[in-house]
Amino acid sequence: MSDNKKPEKLVGIRGMNDILPADAPLWELFENTVESVLKSYGFQQIRTPIVEPTALFSRGLGAVTDIVEKEMYSFVDSMNGDLLTLRPESTAGVVRAALEHNLTYDGPKRLWYAGPMFRHERPQRGRYRQFHQVGAEAIGFSGPDVDAELILMCQRLWDDLGLSGIRLELNSIGNADERHRHRADLVAYFEQNRELLDADATRRLHSNPLRILDTKNPAMQDMVNAAPKLVDYLDADSLAHFEGVQRILRHNNIPFTINPRLVRGMDYYNRTVFEWVTDQLGSQGTVCGGGRYDPLVEMFGGKPTPACGFAMGVERLLELMKGAGEQPAASQCDVYLVHQGEAAQMQSFVLAERLRDAGLDVVLHCASAGGSGSFKAQMKRADASGAGFAVIIGEDEVAGDTATVKILRGESAENRQATVPFSKVAEYLVDQIVGDDDHGHDHGHDHGSHVHYKP
């Protein structure tokens, strides 16, 4: 007897979310704005693989960091036994690619990336197991000027996205020898206060004591605030670099707070570190973080090469954009093509291609599970599509070699329609659109925004 049991419904993995069509316009607005800002500073896009050797992260991020110890999605390649990991961040991959392909042979490089990252952590607002980052890496630059430029670029992006209430926290964690001296005194201090350390801090006491400074445990705050401060261990060069960053920020009216407990979570950082934080997202207040990582290229087998960069969490910034009222309307198209009858359908295919040639986004009505659709049903679909125009071809239009163009948006739109010769429909519609140069159609078609008709 056959088993007619209905298959179990499959669902996605917890913390790995679908981005649905209704969400796409906000993502497109963010991505287009980011690309425009980064290009305006001379950054070039780089795309690296999602899967990298596990050693890339254990060596670069640090074997005792939370990411490597607890959060990476790592596995053994069943074909050859290689240890592989879904990237938890992108700086290590970008530096690996720059070194492997000798990108800095002719001078420093400004690079940017965007894409999904993966960390196995408890999903919560703005923090997911598959999440997206945009980042910038300036490789081969040694001075405080590029550190400051990266921060200025972030401020411009917040302005262009219409975001406020994001504040800058800044620190210097010096170089390895300075941190070593500070580390010895820090461990001694924490040893004296061992009874106040929680389990996580106790575990890190000898492996990564600097991270204890970043604790969120309220019971430890007073003790941590009184701990030895790294800035007191910086030599003249590190202090001069840090002051150079601050001087440029002050000259450009970028407000900041020096946070001596700011250390960042990866072992590759040195000197400048910074975070952009907000109070609008609860406990997940950091929306962007970065700093200088001069040791990383050498850690990967290359020659000593200075570098600085940042990464920002896309989902968190989208939450802020929604809170600021940024919610672009979802629209499938500029034109919805309605037709009745076989001859009209044939004509509609021809017209749809002509309109696309003119730079318009066109949805041609196609039969659904409920049938080809009455004229009334098709017009409902046209209105729901968000299109500015419906173009209608029926028996009368076929006979007269015309099309009816109906404006769907704006005041008294129901009364605004015209009968247009078939050969002139594309020209007529383009004439209704305000400013080709403004909306990005014609030669430089922008699929992130659609046309506006004349009022």
Note whether 30 and 114 are same-domain residues.
yes
CATH classification at residue 66: 3.30.930.10
Domain hosting 51: range is: 24-175+235-323
Please report whether residue 180 resides in a domain. no
Res. 432 pLDDT band, cuts 50 70 90: confident
Q: Any residues with CB less than 8 A from the CB of 380 and at least 6 apart, and which?
A: none
Note whether 351 and 426 are same-domain residues.
yes
Please report whether residue 265 resides in a domain. yes
Per-residue pLDDT tens over the stretch 67-95: 666 788 888 888 888 899 999 999 999 99
Q: Is 124 helix (H, G, I), strand (E, B) or coil?
A: strand
Please report whether residue 19 resides in a domain. no
Note whether 259 and 395 are same-domain residues.
no
Distance CA 148, CA 77 (A): 42
Note whether 146 and 279 are same-domain residues.
yes
Please report whether residue 144 resides in a domain. yes
Total tally of structural domains belonging to the chain? 2
Note whether 318 and 352 are same-domain residues.
no
Distance CA 226, CA 237 (A): 26
Note whether 247 and 285 are same-domain residues.
yes
Q: Any residues with CB less than 8 A from the CB of 418 and at least 6 apart, and which?
A: 404, 405, 428
Residue 196 has pLDDT above 80, yes or no: yes
Q: Is 254 helix (H, G, I), strand (E, B) or coil?
A: coil
DSSP percent split of the chain into helix, strand, coil, nearest 5 = 40, 20, 40
Can you read off the two tokens belonging to residue 61?
């991020």
Burial class (CB in 10 A: 0-12, 13-18, 19+), 135: buried
Note whether 151 and 240 are same-domain residues.
yes
Please report whether residue 8 resides in a domain. no
Average pLDDT of the chain to the nearest whole number: 85
**Which residue do the tokens 């550190």 mark?**
147
The reported pLDDT for the residue numbered 415 is: 62
* Residue where one domain finishes, among candidates 323, 343, 367: 323
Q: E strands along 25-93, which residues?
A: 44-45, 51-53, 73-76, 83-86
* Residue where one domain finishes, among candidates 323, 345, 366: 323
* Residue where one domain finishes, among candidates 323, 344, 372: 323
CATH classification at residue 401: 3.40.50.800
Please report whether residue 230 resides in a domain. no
Per-residue pLDDT tens over the stretch 310-329: 999 999 999 889 888 877 76
Residue of 136, 137, 147, 132 whose CA lies nearest to 313: 132
The reported pLDDT for the residue numbered 445 is: 42
Note whether 50 and 161 are same-domain residues.
yes
DSSP state of 210: G
Stretch 371-399: mean pLDDT: 87
Residue type at position 392: I
Can you read off the two tokens belonging to residue 343?
């001859």
Note whether 359 and 246 are same-domain residues.
no
CB 169 within 8 A of CB 256: yes
Query: Which among 200-209, 235-244, 256-265, 274-283 has the top mean pLDDT?
Result: 235-244
Residue 55 parent element (H or E):
helix 54-60
Note whether 352 and 294 are same-domain residues.
no
Please report whether residue 199 resides in a domain. no
- Cβ-based neighbour number of residue 14 at 10 Å: 10
Note whether 286 and 381 are same-domain residues.
no
Please report whether residue 204 resides in a domain. no
Can you read off the two tokens belonging to residue 334?
């500029």
Note whether 410 and 262 are same-domain residues.
no
Per-residue pLDDT tens over the stretch 43-74: 999 999 999 999 888 876 765 566 666 788 88
Per-residue pLDDT tens over the stretch 91-136: 999 999 999 999 998 999 999 999 999 988 776 666 788 999 999 9
Can you read off the two tokens belonging to residue 73?
């999605």
